[in-house]
Each structure stands twice: as structure tokens, then as C-alpha cells.
């Protein structure tokens, strides 16, 4: 009888461990990296830590928190530098704080932790207000001292940084809508239906056309004056992040590993699809001379404006986040890799890499 009791208890413990293991693996899914840079430093959000890294040599200038990682925070979003000298961080952890740091010292100015959902999108500062989209579907507003002003429900989880143009903020949502938010009226002015969930930011052309990619496997151009779709372009796979615009050309990668150049005026294919060695998630980076993308297979590619490959460089890990330009360098933040920040020069040669001490 005792052995049977033991069997029941062991079965219970085993099931608990298996289910807990499932939870743990779900928690491991809570990792992503967000990257931004100015002319001197790169700011890397990586798990529970944020690093300021010197562009000169890849050394750490400061890390936040300074002493020990706070496991209740998980920073996915690219840190944002504001004009008044703040560095804004957004956490997707269980504490889901919105944090302002001094970008010189890494010391905290203020934090806000009362949102209903987590922060996956980067916030944006416009004039005297900080706008932060949340996965609870609300757009939160704060003054520059971090005082909460208001929160407006738009609809659906908001995963991407808003785009600002004069009187409006444009925000893509996972609820298949592109929202135009009237800053003065503090309300949604209009919404345009997209063909699928849109986790990446919209892009604004000089003529007022908004471009968005989505899980509908389409790139859609929306006229911001008429709110109607001008054209759409079908991609083979889902489009995860924002597009890149260079003059008349739009560049976009998809989850099936295709990279396209599209005519921004009419949605016609200019060249492509070219097939690098893996899934493309991050938005392309357009420099003066070429276009850079990273793949899930850990390789960086530079393409000429005619679609020919200029160089490719194996970085390692998985390049999910968009590459960023920092001074003369091209920065990648690989996941599942010892080095979490890699700097390349314009010829694709590695200049330095940053590996955190553990």
C-alpha cells in the first residue's frame, strides 16, 4: 500500500516537473534584443540587462542595473534616446516597467510600472510628451518627468514604435489595423485595415503614403489623406518588422527568407526575391552605399541598390533584431550567441564584438 502511495506521489511530482518545464521553456521564449546607437555609444537591451557600449572598442561604459540583473524585467525593445537627454527602456518582464535612464551614467531617472500589459514596443518622445504603446492595446502618455498623463485604448496588442508626423502618431497593431492617432485631440483619428497582424512599425513616404508589412504576407501602401489602400504587394511569407525606404525603393524581407525591392510609387517589384540563407525578421538598414540585412542563420548580407550581393559575413547566433548604424559601424545583436553585439565596417569586416562577462 505504501508503494502505491509513493507511486501516486511520484506521478504527481513528475507531472508537476513536466508542466513546470513547459513553463520554463515558455519563459525562455522571453528573450529578444533591442538595439539603438548614437555617434559614441550603442545601447543594447538584452534580457534583464541593458548595456551602453563604446563604439570605439566595444567596451562596456555602463550596464543597467549596475550591480545585478533584475529577473522581473526583460528588455526586448530598442532603447530610445530623447532630445532632452533621456534613455527610455521598456520591459516585457513580469514587472513590465517603463524606465528612464541618464544615458551618460546609466542611473535611473524614473520608472513606471502600472501598465496592464507588457512593453514590447519602443516608446517615442514628441515635444514634451512620451508616448508608449503597450500589449494591453493602450497608448500611454507621460510627461518628460515620467508623470502619467493618460492612456487610450486603441485595440489589439501594440508591438511597434509609433511613427510621428506633425499632428499624428501612426501605430501598427496586432489587431490588423494601422491607427492614426491625433496628438492634439488625444484620440484615434482613423484606422486602416491591414491584411494581417502587424508587429513592425509603419513607414512614411515623402508624399504621405504609409507603408506596412504584416502577417497577411503583404506590403500595403495606405494613403494618409484618404485612409485608403493605394496598392499591395504579396510576399511569400509573413513580414515581421518595418520596411526600409530609400528614395523610390522599398526594401522588405519575409519569414520565408526572401528579400525584395519594391517600387514605392506603385508596388511593382524592382528586383528579387533574392534568397539569403535564412528567415529575415529585422528591418533592413539602408546606408549611403548599400542595404544590410541579417538572417536567422546568423549571416549579415549587404546588397547593392540593384540587388547584387556586395558582401556577406557570418556573425553567428540568430540575427532577429534590425541592424543599426552607429557612427561608421554596422551593429548586429545576435541571439543564442556568446557575443551579443558585433560591429562590422562598411566592407563587412568585424571590427569588434562584445561578450558579456558571466
| 13 vs 220: CA distance, rounded Å | 51
Q: What angle do CA 178, 179, 182 make, to 5 degrees?
A: 155
User: How distant, in Å, are the alpha carbons of 288, 339, 341, 354 from that of 54?
Assistant: 23, 15, 11, 10
Give the nearer residue to other proteins in terms of CB position, either 183 or 197.
197
| 215 vs 209: CA distance, rounded Å | 20
What separation, in Å, do the N-terminal and C-terminal C-alpha atoms of the chain show? 49
Shortest spacing between CB 18 and other proteins, in angstroms: 5
Shortest spacing between CB 288 and other proteins, in angstroms: 30
| 42 vs 326: CA distance, rounded Å | 7
DSSP string for residues in 100-164: EE-TTT--EEEEE---SS---S--EEETTEEEEE-TTSEEEEEETT--EEEEEE-SS---S--EE
Give the nearer residue to other proteins in terms of CB position, either 33 or 339.
33
Shortest spacing between CB 280 and other proteins, in angstroms: 12
Shortest spacing between CB 322 and other proteins, in angstroms: 12
Give the nearer residue to other proteins in terms of CB position, either 8 or 206.
8
Give the nearer residue to other proteins in terms of CB position, either 9 or 66.
9
* Residue count (the chain): 358
Cell 559614441: give the residue. Answer: 40
Shortest spacing between CB 76 and other proteins, in angstroms: 6
Binding-site ranges for other proteins (CB under 8 A)? 1, 4-5, 8-9, 11-12, 15-16, 18-19, 22-23, 26, 29-32, 76, 92, 118, 120, 135, 156-157, 159, 174-175, 195-197, 199, 215-217, 238, 240, 255, 281, 320
Cell 501516486: give the residue. Answer: 8
Give the nearer residue to other proteins in terms of CB position, either 33 or 86.
33
Shortest spacing between CB 24 and other proteins, in angstroms: 11
Give the nearer residue to other proteins in terms of CB position, either 7 or 104.
7
Burial 191-221 (b: 16+ CB within 10 A, else e): bbebbbbbbbbbbbeeeebbbbbbbbbbbbb
Q: What angle do CA 175, 32, 305 make, to 5 degrees?
A: 80
Give the nearer residue to other proteins in terms of CB position, either 255 or 302.
255
Shortest spacing between CB 79 and other proteins, in angstroms: 16
Element (H, E) at 8: helix 2-28
Amino acid at each position: 500500500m505504501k508503494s502505491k502511495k509513493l507511486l501516486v506521489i511520484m506521478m504527481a511530482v513528475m507531472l508537476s516537473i513536466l508542466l513546470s518545464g513547459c513553463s520554463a521553456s515558455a519563459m525562455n521564449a522571453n528573450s529578444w534584443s533591442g538595439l539603438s546607437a548614437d555617434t559614441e555609444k550603442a545601447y543594447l537591451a538584452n534580457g534583464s540587462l541593458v548595456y551602453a557600449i563604446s563604439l570605439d572598442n566595444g567596451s562596456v561604459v555602463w550596464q543597467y542595473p549596475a550591480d545585478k540583473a533584475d529577473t522581473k524585467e526583460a528588455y526586448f525593445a530598442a532603447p530610445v534616446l530623447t532630445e532632452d537627454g533621456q534613455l527610455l527602456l521598456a520591459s516585457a518582464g513580469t514587472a513590465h516597467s517603463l524606465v528612464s535612464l541618464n544615458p551618460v551614467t546609466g542611473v535611473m531617472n524614473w520608472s513606471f510600472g502600472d501598465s496592464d500589459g507588457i512593453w514590447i514596443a519602443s516608446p517615442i518622445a514628441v515635444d514634451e510628451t512620451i508616448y508608449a504603446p503597450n500589449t494591453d492595446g493602450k497608448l500611454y502618455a507621460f510627461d518628460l518627468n515620467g508623470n502619467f498623463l493618460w492612456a487610450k485604448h486603441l485595440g489589439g496588442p501594440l508591438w511597434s514604435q509609433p511613427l510621428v508626423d506633425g499632428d499624428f502618431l501612426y501605430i501598427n497593431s496586432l489587431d490588423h489595423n494601422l491607427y492614426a492617432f491625433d496628438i492634439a485631440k488625444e484620440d484615434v483619428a482613423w484606422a486602416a485595415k491591414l491584411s494581417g497582424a502587424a508587429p513592425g512599425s509603419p513607414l512614411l513616404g515623402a508624399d504621405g503614403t504609409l507603408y506596412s508589412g504584416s502577417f497577411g504576407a503583404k506590403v500595403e501602401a495606405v494613403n494618409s489623406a484618404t485612409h485608403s489602400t493605394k496598392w499591395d504587394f504579396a510576399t511569400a511569407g509573413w513580414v515581421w518588422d518595418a520596411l526600409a525606404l530609400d528614395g523610390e525603393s522599398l526594401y522588405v524581407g519575409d519569414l520565408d527568407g526572401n528579400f525584395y525591392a519594391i517600387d514605392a510609387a506603385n508596388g511593382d517589384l524592382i528586383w528579387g526575391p533574392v534568397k539569403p540563407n535564412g528567415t529575415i525578421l529585422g528591418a533592413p538598414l539602408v546606408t549611403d552605399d548599400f542595404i544590410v540585412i541579417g538572417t536567422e542563420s546568423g549571416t549579415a548580407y549587404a546588397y547593392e541598390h540593384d540587388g547584387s550581393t556586395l558582401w556577406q559575413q557570418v556573425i553567428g547566433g540568430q540575427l532577429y533584431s534590425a541592424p543599426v548604424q552607429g557612427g561608421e559601424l554596422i551593429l548586429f545583436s545576435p541571439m543564442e550567441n556568446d557575443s551579443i553585439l558585433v560591429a562590422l565596417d562598411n566592407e563587412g569586416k568585424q571590427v569588434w564584438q562584445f561578450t558579456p562577462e558571466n
